[in-house]
Structure 1
Amino acid sequence: MSSPTRRYKSPSELSRANNNNNNNNTTHLPPPPPQNNHRNTPYLPTPTELALLTLYPTLLLFGALFSLLSPETRAAPYDTLRQAHAQDPSLAPSYFARKDNLFNVLFVKRGWAWITAAFGAFVLAHPAYRGGGNQTRRRVRAGVRWVVVTGWWVFVTQWCFGPPIIDRGFRWSGGKCEVVEEMVFGFGEGGVKEVVTAAACKASGGSWRGGHDISGHVFLLVLGSFFLVQEVGWVAARWARYLGEERCVVMHDGAVKGAGVEAERREQQEEAGVLTVLETLGFGGRLAAAVTGLCAWMLLMTAIYFHTWFEKLTGLVVALAGLYVTYILPRWIPALRSIVGLPGI
């Protein structure tokens, strides 16, 4: 009986066998996900900012539709001169349709004081602004932005080298005070200079008629609320490391980079624990959130019960113009950014 023949493997066969064994024992990891190199344009708001800004025209549109579809609102008497419903409690379609409602008297009529108080409380109390050095520079730049936005509010509603922009626009569009017309015929041209604003016309017992009246309520509520969203939102998000997107800026050499390249690191380098939203906002941030929410509610009430749709639209546009100059323009003009800075940077 012949012995079995032993088959010897060549070196090349042994090498191939070892490679096959190694391949079978190797764990194949999935390829890493592709990196998202997309950057937001510095000339427009970020996607999150756009989503928040969309809430304003949405509220105005919803209010306009509600006023048309609500039987109570359509049936209530409406004064086209005052751009408001009848103020008699028995005739007004809602408590918020009356100009003497407490929210209008105590909040909207003193709106900029509330907005300033919330902003001041946040800047003075939030950890991102405490200390010296970089924090001092942040506080100064935040104050500069407040001055810019406040200046725009003053020019539009209070004084612009004479009558404010709202009153100038009313007169440029053909509006006038009836008392002025009577004074012209009765006492000459000197009386015209005495009543050139809506406040003076009302105080003198006249009627402000005939022109386009930019909605001061819409302007104030949009400008003030988004000012707080910018000043509180970016600072709190960066402090708690919640940032899901980044603003982009144009550098002095023309390069477009994330705004984080100009951000200062925390002086305390230890890893912070997980912060809740309330802890991140602090007292000032919570106050700002409450003021912002109340602004949104009163904006909706204004959309339902006051002004024409075009007056509300122009109020929105004028507010957005001031916000663009304050928060978007510095992103692509480095010289301006060196003065006003960016929230959270």
Structure 2
Amino acid sequence: MYGLCRSYLSCTTTSTRAAIYFILVLFLSVFNENEVWDTMLASKSNYLNVYMVKWSWAWTSAAVGGYLLTRASSRTNGVSLRHLTNIFLQIALGTTVWYVFAVQLFPVVEEGTGVCKLSEFNNKRSCRKAGYNWTRFDISGHCFLLLWNILFTLENIQHQLAASRKEENNEKKSNGSTLETFSNIQLYFISLLTMIWEIMLVSTALHFHTTAEKVFGCLVALFAWILIYRILPVPKIEII
């Protein structure tokens, strides 16, 4: 089970998977623009959307942060201040990306590009309250957030899995089999989360938003990932 999860999370580089996800969303969006799918996932009230996707950053940050802390705790020297600082930095950067784009910027774009069917209403709240449609450019927050969750997870987890392989090759032993077992269980959960995010990314590409809105959402996630992990870049967490 551990080997299967490790292979699933590290079978390709993050860059390759980012390209695959973007091309997949673009392809599905373009060729299914006018299709209507009568499936459970086509409903915004489906359980995965309500309880997982809408809270996806909380799930992802808690799962990845918890895994990194457990892995650091299982090392011979325990958790150092450097480990805690680096883990906090990763979670803080990820949360900043979520907050700046999903919470602050996207609603501003939606409001600024919106037009009410009846021109006397100049904001979404008053337009919808009056019973009219608010037509706007609604950047896909789902595409942005789901892709960002996956890329954030892979950047942090793949590095730890590579370190684990080095330890195995060097026959290094960690401290505390209980913690090691718990970290494996956490890895199973992270694999499950990643799979759910992938399924919901495909679902969003098939069922919701226009092609431009979905592509733009993905591009914002890719921009944040490239900026943080390729241009800056943020130091990887070394847990040895």
TM-score by length of 1: 0.55
| 281-290 or 229-238, which deviates more | 281-290
Letter in 2 for 1:216: G
Distance 2:114 2:200 in 1: 27
| Other-structure match for 2:49 | 104
1:291 aligns with 2:193: yes
Distance 1:116 1:201 in 2: 36
Distance 1:291 1:199 in 2: 34
- How far the C-alpha of 1:317 sits from its partner, in A, is 0.7
Once the two structures are superposed, residues 271-296 of structure 1 have per-residue CA deviations (whole angstroms, 9 ceiling, x without a partner) of 459xxxx9796222222111111100
Change (3 A) 1:223 1:101: same
Match of 2:114 among 171, 175, 178: 175
SS of residue matched to 1:109: helix
- How far the C-alpha of 1:157 sits from its partner, in A, is 1.6
| Other-structure match for 1:149 | 94
- How far the C-alpha of 1:101 sits from its partner, in A, is 0.9
Distance 1:125 1:201 in 2: 49
Match of 2:165 among 240, 243, 256: 240
* Contact 2:65–2:91 under 8 Å retained in 1: no
Q: RCO greater where, 1 or 2, for CA within 8 Å and sep 6 or more?
A: 2
Distance 1:271 1:220 in 2: 37
Count of residue pairs brought into register by the alignment: 222
| Other-structure match for 1:16 | none
| Other-structure match for 1:216 | 141
| Other-structure match for 1:166 | 106
| Other-structure match for 1:342 | 236
Gaps of 5+ in 1: 1-46, 77-91, 159-163, 184-191, 243-268, 332-336
Letter in 2 for 1:64: S
Once the two structures are superposed, residues 67-116 of structure 1 have per-residue CA deviations (whole angstroms, 9 ceiling, x without a partner) of 36xxxx83x4xxxxxxxxxxxxxxx6111111111111111111111112
* Contact 2:14–2:154 under 8 Å retained in 1: no
- RMSD over equivalenced CA pairs, Å: 3.3
Distance 2:188 2:74 in 1: 16
Would you tell me which structure has more helix in proportion to its own residues?
Answer: 2
Change (3 A) 1:315 1:287: same
* Contact 2:128–2:134 under 8 Å retained in 1: yes
**Percentage of matched positions with identical amino acids:** 26
Change (3 A) 1:202 1:223: farther
* Contact 1:217–1:299 under 8 Å retained in 2: yes
Distance 2:129 2:98 in 1: 22
1:54 aligns with 2:31: no
| Other-structure match for 2:62 | 117
Change (3 A) 1:64 1:142: same
Distance 1:292 1:323 in 2: 16
Gaps of 5+ in 2: 1-11, 175-179
Distance 2:21 2:126 in 1: 31
Change (3 A) 1:232 1:177: farther
Match of 1:226 among 145, 148, 151: 151
| Other-structure match for 2:230 | 328
